[in-house]
A and B are shown apart, each in its own frame.
Chain A
Amino acid sequence: MIVYLLCFALLLVGIYGLLVKRDLVRLIIASGITGYATNLMLVLFGYKRGAIYPILEEGKAVSERVMVDPLPQALVLTSIVIELGITAMLVALAIRLFEKNKTFDITKIKRLSG
């Protein structure tokens, strides 16, 4: 259970970064950390003690291998790819805002258009 609590603490560190920081680059870093914590939590729910990876091998019978849960792994695979798309788009947005306002501070960016 300590592992679950540590993973939840990682999620709370990411949320703290999203709420408190004022620099655009720190916001992108914090959103990445929140994504990592979520993916880790999903895979932690599917771990079986003493089991092995869910890939069949030649020469070994199927029934004598106890395997971990493959379903959370499939869902997290999709999630990791989408996180990269989100990070790339946030980086593009940050570069565009820097070009127009010459700063990364979000309290100084006040004009929406122009």
Chain B
Amino acid sequence: MKQEPGLTLIAKTVTRVSVWLIILYGIYIILHGHLSPGGGFAGGVVIALAFLNVMLTYGRETVTHWVNVEFLHDLEPACGAIYMAIGILGISISGGFLANFLSKGTLFNLLSSGNILLLNIIIGIKVAMGLFTVVWTLAIFHINEGGEK
């Protein structure tokens, strides 16, 4: 029987190096959503898979030491509220709900296309935190109904 939760030492060492690269890749997909395929949804689920990776190889206790889980649970509805706030800001500045009010820039730049870059980031964080909450709750339920460990 293993004494510490999680997988072997090789898996833990590889995860320690590669989880930051996965998060970087997810941020890249989110930020370049208006230039290449991808966008907020794909990048968000990549970041959620990075957290799932740490949870599977190290166990749940280490994740509570690594990040503040309550803050991540609360981040998801906050991003939904920020999305609606941007929409209402669009009413007050120009046109109707969710109007594109930032500057459009030149084509093929990173800082172009106005509202779309900001909304991509908001949607990416929302999807990542929502999926992480689902996996975290399933893991807690697993441990609790299996008896004391």
The answer on direct contact between A and B (beta carbons under 8 Å) is yes
Given A81-B41, A88-B134, A92-B138, decide whether A56 and B145 contact each other with a Cβ distance below 8 A. no
How many residues of B sit at the interface, in one of the four size bands? Answer: 10 to 19
Verify B145–A58 contact, CB threshold 8 A.
no
B127 close to A (CB within 8 Å):
yes
Given A88-B134, A92-B138, decide whether A58 and B108 contact each other with a Cβ distance below 8 A. yes
A2 close to B (CB within 8 Å):
no
Instruction: Give the residues in chain B near A56, CB-CB below 8 Å.
Output: 107
B66 close to A (CB within 8 Å):
no
Instruction: Give the residues in chain B near A53, CB-CB below 8 Å.
Output: 37
Verify A95–B141 contact, CB threshold 8 A.
yes
Given A88-B134, A92-B138, A99-B145, decide whether A55 and B41 contact each other with a Cβ distance below 8 A. no
Closest to B127 in A: A81
Verify B145–A77 contact, CB threshold 8 A.
no
Instruction: Give the residues in chain B near A80, CB-CB below 8 Å.
Output: 41
B68 close to A (CB within 8 Å):
no
Q: Please tell me the number of chain A residues within 8 Å of chain B, measured between CB atoms.
A: 13
Q: In the complex, A40 Cα to B138 Cα: how many Å?
A: 30
Instruction: Give the residues in chain B near A88, CB-CB below 8 Å.
Output: 134
B13 close to A (CB within 8 Å):
no
Q: In the complex, A53 Cα to B36 Cα: how many Å?
A: 11
Q: In the complex, A49 Cα to B37 Cα: how many Å?
A: 21
Verify A55–B145 contact, CB threshold 8 A.
no
What 1/0 mask marks residues of chain A from 26 to 63 whose CB sits below 8 Å from any chain B CB? 00000000000000000000000000010110100000
Tell me which residues from 78 to 99 in chain A have a Cβ below 8 Å from any Cβ of chain B: 80-81, 84, 88, 91-92, 95, 99
Instruction: Give the residues in chain A near B141, CB-CB below 8 Å.
Output: 95
Taking the closest CB of chain B, its distance from the CB of A32, in whole angstroms, is 16
Tell me which residues from 96 to 149 in chain B have a Cβ below 8 Å from any Cβ of chain A: 107-108, 127, 131, 134, 137-138, 141, 145
Q: In the complex, A58 Cα to B145 Cα: how many Å?
A: 56
Closest to A58 in B: B108
Instruction: Give the residues in chain A near B134, CB-CB below 8 Å.
Output: 88
Taking the closest CB of chain A, its distance from the CB of B107, in whole angstroms, is 7
Q: In the complex, A81 Cα to B134 Cα: how many Å?
A: 14
Instruction: Give the residues in chain A near B108, CB-CB below 8 Å.
Output: 58
Instruction: Give the residues in chain B near A91, CB-CB below 8 Å.
Output: 138
B residues whose Cβ falls under 8 Å from a Cβ of A: 36-37, 41, 107-108, 127, 131, 134, 137-138, 141, 145
